[in-house]
Amino acid sequence: MVFSSVTFLFYYLPALIILYYVAPQKLKNLVMFLASMVFYAWGEIRFIPVMLALSVEDYVCARLMDKYADHKRLRRLFMLISVGSNLGVLLFFKYTNFFVGNLNALVGGGIPQPNIILPIGVSFNSFQSISYAIDVYRGTTNSEKSYYNYLTYTTLFPQIIAGPIVRYVTVEHDLDDHLLTADSFSRGTRRFLIGLGKKVLIANNVGFLWSQISTGAAGEPSVLLYWIGIIAYTFQIYFDFSGYSDMAIGLARIFGLTFDENFNYPYISRSITEFWRRWHITLGAWFRDYVYIPMGGNRCGKLKQLRNLLVVWALTGFWHGASWNFVFWGLYFAIILIIEKFVLLRFWDKVPRILQHIYALVLIIISWVIFYFEDLSAMGAYFRGMFGWQHVPLWNKQALYYLLGYGLIFVLAAFFATPVFQKLLIRLECSARKPVLVGVSLGYVFLFAACVAYLVNSTYNPFLYFRF
């Protein structure tokens, strides 16, 4: 069950809101936990026992870390048990097929392929639990005394599938207080609707175009058609993922919780360094705080700093999927970030801003080719097509047809990928004039109606981050 579905919008969510708001304060976490179990069981009931077993182990290890606060070795042991268990689950479910396949390729076969199915959201859930164990060990937070509360935290349905990665310290007090107000409900609903519009009206439309071009169903190829396709995917992955994050953050506000922001208009960046400060913010912060800094960060000389950057970005890529293209994708960014850090950014302010934006956007668009194609030969073929190395024309009738047909939505996607509309919307929502506020409210109603109309009439409604 995805947020952008009729089942969720008209059955699951309204029923949960009613139950949650009428439930006594002491039972709200129970309602949220049961709702999360129903939500997850809708598609992955087989993984629920593993999730619950890990929650018990993480809770007990954290409590023991607090109990033996003066015994450093015991605290470290319990932290390692918790972290190791979550990493073990992640490695088993997500990477066993990859490791076996590569080992067979090296030794010439012989090991049966297990074909383990990837549980939905395992990457996000594992990283969230690991952050809790390490934070308790470091003393950043105390362990949660109520297993009931911890279970609610570790199974929260708004972010369990695709983030943002929510640390326990972020929602610790919300799990006790449940400060439900008309303002939080209103803000959460508006944020959810904006995310729904991003996903349904923009990501789905440009995603359909990308599916046609990437599979060869768009007709005779040309250089222009290849660029139209990857630009469509560039918009799709941003509006799909940031739209989901908006919906998750909005749902959290509706239920009295506060999640961290996950995107900050990354396509307005003027460097790749800036891009990664704006893209998937909670993942970048996780690797910084739990991998890069513990390895020494930038405090141990240039050679070790280079090593740390390469390791962290290889892991960042590998976290996204069990395939070599994700590792290459991570290393691609590592190399660019290293060049920027030690060379480019020293004189970057002297470069015209428009050239900075073009530089960043071209490198970002190229990165999505690496990210998308798990088949390295298909990736190479697409790159050859993009750069005219495949004996195809610069443009043709098919390319012009798709450019004209999708030109408007490309312009709208580019506009909404900037903060201009958000600033205008905030100004309108803060207006004291009643006609303006009524107009804004009607705009949200129209947005919801447009999304529902699309969902009812279209069968194309993928969610990219299910595979991560």
Annotated catalytic residues are 320
Q: Contact, 292 vs 306, CB < 8 A? A: no
Q: What is the 3-state secondary structure (H, E, C) of the chain?
A: CCCCCHHHHHHHHHHHHHHHHHCCHHHHHHHHHHHHHHHHHHHHHHHHHHHHHHHHHHHHHHHHHHHCCCCHHHHHHHHHHHHHHHHHHHHHHHHHHHHHHHHHHHHCCCCCCCCCCCCCCHHHHHHHHHHHHHHHHHCCCCCCCCHHHHHHHHCCCCCCCCCCCCCHHHHCCHHHHCCCCHHHHHHHHHHHHHHHHHHHHHHHHHHHHHHHHHCCCCCCCCHHHHHHHHHHHHHHHHHHHHHHHHHHHHHHHHCCCCCCCCCCCHHHCCCHHHHHHHCCHHHHHHHHHHHHCCCCCCCCCHHHHHHHHHHHHHHHHHHHCCCHHHHHHHHHHHHHHHHHHHCHHHCHHHCCHHHHHHHHHHHHHHHHHHHHCCCHHHHHHHHHHHCCCCCCCCCCHHHHHHHHHHHHHHHHHHHHCCCHHHHHHHHHHCCCCHHHHHHHHHHHHHHHHHHHHHHHHCCCCCCHHHHC
- Written as one string, the DSSP assignment of 135-167 is HHHHTSSPPPS-HHHHHHHHT-TTTTTT-----
Q: 6 vs 13, 238, 246, 454, 459, CA distance in Å?
A: 10, 23, 18, 11, 12
How far is residue 155's CA from residue 48's CA, in Å, rounded to a whole number? 10
Phi, psi angle pair for 234, to nearest 5° = -60, -45
